[in-house]
Amino acid sequence: MLSDETIAAPATLMNAPAAIGIIRITGGKSAEIISAITVNKDAAPLFAGGRASIKPRYMYHGFITSPGGEARLVDEAMICFYKSPASYTGEDMAEIFCHGGSYNMSKVLEAVLKAGARSAEPGEFTKRACINAKIDLCQAEAVCDIINSRTSAFHQIAVSQIKGSLSYEINAVKNQLVAVIADIEANLDFPEEDIAPVDIDAVRETLLGCRHKTFTLLASYDYGRIIKEGLKITIAGSPNVGKSSLFNLLLRENRAIVTEIPGTTRDVIEETVNIEGVAFALADTAGVRDAEDVVEKIGIERTYENIRGADLCLVVLDASRAVNDEDIRLLAETENLPRAIVINKIDNTSAAFGYKCLPLKDNETAIEISVKENANIDALKTLILKKSGTLAITSQHNADRAVITNARHAAALETALASFDDAVETIDSGSPIDLLTIDIRAALSSLGEIVGETVTDDILHKIFEKFCIGK
């Protein structure tokens, strides 16, 4: 799987003005390439002696030129070379720190490619780091998670996985299994030697301990999935109850148009909001009412679709007026769905509101807020965490504990659990001990998929195609 090709890509954005841009190069020709395209202030080669004249991890100042033919000055830059294996990829690497901007960076990259590199594929730098055993597959996937993190909680988990928290837990279980297999096979292969017989009860206890650790890791996926993917919240209500105002307040920006004209919101507007480290996809919807306008009717249909697909629906009522048929209809529609009743405009409560007459579920209460006065909004956020089931898990989470956030990891752990169950059943049924090694090796294979020891090329390709180019 190792490649002799030298690759290059921008490691910073090219499509926006920036003070600094970084072009990254890795592969056997890295030193040759930077030697070919760099000169000093006197237009002499910056690295006249080639690779031997480049001091690793030293920052050089020079100028980038286009290689071949009549050299043309491209940009002033700083250049750093990393000698194999002491680099991110484990190969010879170089980084060019040039001025940012799409055109300038494209010309620097063009010079690098002309000098002998090819354009890198998405995630190819990290893929090479993984193949060259600089990091394992768990750590490689955590790199992508850090780049894509939207909340502090998910970022913290990704950083922990880069440090090896998940790999440590997986490898600890694998080491125990390897020791069990070694003991069993020594007895099977060398019966004439003076080797103590296998303590099958001790093996069973070890397998149950490994199963428990695996199950604990898998159980963390409920928390990890929520932290990574977030939950969907729909704000629903009849027109002018303050849905869009609440939407803007939770986002802390004027994303939705707010007017006193009923039917202003015609379609679903979605944005991500961070509440105590949990990402929520917050949706503002069209006011529910009997509408004649065709466009508004479509918007209301989408509101109901959004309500049914939400992890939590905030049903907003208006305390400044009496409860109407539209409110009652919406409460009936959401009766069997996860919801929170939010009474807005308590700063202007009407005697005709009639809150106590609302058809609420048993033991269901409402939270009273004022978007205008910013009253009880923190309490509403806490209620959202509680109603969505995230309050307990966020408060219980230990930052140093390994957490599963990846569906691929969860599937491999489920398969490993099944293999542990098969192994214990093999012992309990009194089957020959050599059959036990089949079940244990199956568990090892599943756990090895997580850290990349038994993963296929197809899976590797699917993992790294999600990365950005240059990482």
Query: Six-digit token pair at 36?
Result: 């070919």
Within 10 angstroms of residue 320's Cβ, the number of other Cβ atoms is 16
pLDDT band at 62 (very low <50, low <70, confident <90, very high): very high
d(CA 406, CA 161): 11
d(CA 89, CA 95): 12
pLDDT band at 57 (very low <50, low <70, confident <90, very high): very high
d(CA 165, CA 158): 10
Q: Is 192 helix (H, G, I), strand (E, B) or coil?
A: coil
| 72-82/59-66 β-pairing | antiparallel
d(CA 448, CA 8): 30
d(CA 232, CA 244): 16
Alpha carbon of residue 44 to chain centroid: 47
Angular region, 17: left φ>0, alpha ψ -120 to 50, beta rest: beta
pLDDT at 299: 65
Closest CA to 386 of 275, 296, 236: 275
Q: Which residues pair with 81 in a beta bridge?
A: 94
pLDDT at 194: 62
- Encode pLDDT of 264-307 as tens digits: 444 568 888 888 777 888 888 877 655 555 555 666 677 778 78
Q: What is the dihedral of CA 161, 393, 231, 344, to 10 degrees?
A: -140
Angular region, 382: left φ>0, alpha ψ -120 to 50, beta rest: alpha
Q: Is 280 helix (H, G, I), strand (E, B) or coil?
A: strand
* 425: CB partners within 8 A, 6+ apart: none
pLDDT at 296: 54
Task: Please give the residue that has the higher pLDDT: either 259 or 432.
Answer: 432
Phi first, then psi, for residue 312 (nearest 5°) are -155, 135
pLDDT at 256: 46
* 286: CB partners within 8 A, 6+ apart: 263, 265, 266, 267, 268, 296, 299, 300, 302, 303
pLDDT at 264: 45
- Encode pLDDT of 420-469 as tens digits: 999 999 999 988 888 899 999 999 999 999 998 877 777 777 777 777 77
What percentage of the chain reaches a pLDDT higher than 90?
A: 41
| 7-10/118-119 β-pairing | parallel
Whether 242 shows a pLDDT value over 50: the answer reads yes
d(CA 288, CA 283): 14
pLDDT at 416: 96
Task: Please give the residue that has the higher pLDDT: either 189 or 137.
Answer: 137
Query: Six-digit token pair at 226?
Result: 């929520």
d(CA 136, CA 127): 10
pLDDT band at 257 (very low <50, low <70, confident <90, very high): very low
d(CA 375, CA 80): 55
Indicate the range of 165-174, 188-197, 406-415 predicted with least confidence.
188-197
Mean pLDDT of the residues in the chain: 84
> What structural domains and CATH numbers belong to the chain?
7-120 (3.30.1360.120), 140-220+403-464 (1.20.120.430), 228-395 (3.40.50.300)
Q: What strands lie across the sheet with 72-82, from one edge to the other?
A: 38-39, 59-66, 72-82, 93-99, 20-26, 7-10, 118-119
d(CA 169, CA 138): 11
Whether 385 shows a pLDDT value over 90: the answer reads no
Query: Six-digit token pair at 464?
Result: 């790294």
CB contact at 8 A, 248 and 258:
yes
- Encode pLDDT of 13-27 as tens digits: 888 788 999 999 999
Hey, which bits of 29-156 come out as E strands?
A: 38-39, 59-66, 72-82, 93-99, 118-119
Whether 40 shows a pLDDT value over 70: the answer reads yes
Within 10 angstroms of residue 131's Cβ, the number of other Cβ atoms is 17
- Encode pLDDT of 170-228 as tens digits: 999 999 999 999 888 877 766 666 666 778 999 999 999 999 999 999 998 988 888 88
Indicate the range of 289-303, 344-358, 401-415 predicted with least confidence.
289-303
**DSSP 8-state code for residue 53:** G
Q: What strands lie across the sheet with 312-318, from one edge to the other?
A: 269-275, 278-284, 231-237, 312-318, 339-344, 366-368
Hey, which bits of 226-306 come out as E strands?
A: 231-237, 269-275, 278-284
Whether 58 shows a pLDDT value over 90: the answer reads yes
pLDDT at 266: 44
* 433: CB partners within 8 A, 6+ apart: 184, 187, 188, 198, 200
pLDDT band at 239 (very low <50, low <70, confident <90, very high): confident
pLDDT band at 76 (very low <50, low <70, confident <90, very high): very high
Q: What is the mean pLDDT of residues 121-145?
A: 91
